[in-house]
């Protein structure tokens, strides 16, 4: 499925490339840091920061954009998107910013134009809530975290 995504470069990101897919079958478009020229943003171990991208978008109704980590940053540096996936609603027109956290053991430096996250555009389902006093039964029942795959006699229910 192909949809049109209107995108606006903000003044502090006007010279940066637009988000791009890095391969033919990639699901996410890479987002880059729009920090000031000649500046370096350093996220200390255990620290977090809000990184601007210099972009705003206009999603079609019925779609959202998800801001997700880049797996290479997570593997090599322990850096990830804190609220992953971050959700951009179709009616939001502000700048896309990325909350990065450094779970690694070394400070992580970000320069202007560095790829910091990826954005995946996806359809959204809306639900109509129907309040009920009971729910149907299922094999899992009320088993919560870590309950699947346990023998019935060991189930935490």
What span, in angstroms and rounded, lies between the C-alpha atoms of 69 and 72? 9
Average pLDDT, the chain: 94
In a domain, 32, yes or no: yes
Whether residue 38 is predicted with pLDDT greater than 60 in this model: the reply is yes
Total domains in the chain come to 1
Helix residue ranges per DSSP H, the chain = 71-77
Nearest to 123 by CA among 61, 58, 31: 61
In a domain, 93, yes or no: yes
pLDDT value, residue 150: 66
**Residue 48 is part of a domain; what is its CATH number?**
2.70.40.10
User: How much of the chain, in percent, has pLDDT values that exceed 90?
Assistant: 87
For residues 83, 86, 92 and 95, what is the CA-based torsion angle, rounded to 10 degrees?
80
Average pLDDT over residues 31-55: 97
In a domain, 65, yes or no: yes
pLDDT value, residue 140: 85
In a domain, 153, yes or no: no
Report pLDDT digits (tens) over 68-88: 999 999 999 999 999 999 999
In this prediction, residue 139 has a pLDDT band, given cuts at 50, 70 and 90, of: confident
In a domain, 132, yes or no: no
In a domain, 111, yes or no: yes
Q: Which domain holds residue 41?
A: 6-125
Count of residues making up the chain: 157
């Amino acid at each position: 499925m192909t949809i049109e995504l209107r995108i606006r470069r903000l003044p502090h990101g006007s010279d940066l490339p637009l988000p791009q897919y890095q391969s033919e079958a990639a699901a996410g478009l890479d987002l880059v840091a729009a920090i000031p020229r000649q500046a370096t943003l350093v996220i200390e171990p255990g620290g977090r920061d809000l990184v601007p991208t210099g972009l705003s978008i206009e999603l079609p109704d019925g779609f959202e954009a998800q801001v997700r980590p880049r797996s290479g940053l997570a593997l090599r540096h322990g850096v990830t998107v804190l609220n992953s996936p971050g959700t951009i609603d179709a009616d939001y027109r502000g700048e896309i910013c990325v909350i990065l956290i450094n779970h690694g053991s070394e400070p992580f430096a970000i320069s202007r134009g560095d790829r910091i996250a990826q954005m995946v555009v996806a359809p959204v389902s809306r639900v109509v809530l129907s309040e009920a006093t009971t729910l149907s039964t299922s094999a899992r029942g009320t088993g919560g975290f870590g309950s699947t795959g346990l023998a019935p006699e060991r189930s935490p229910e």
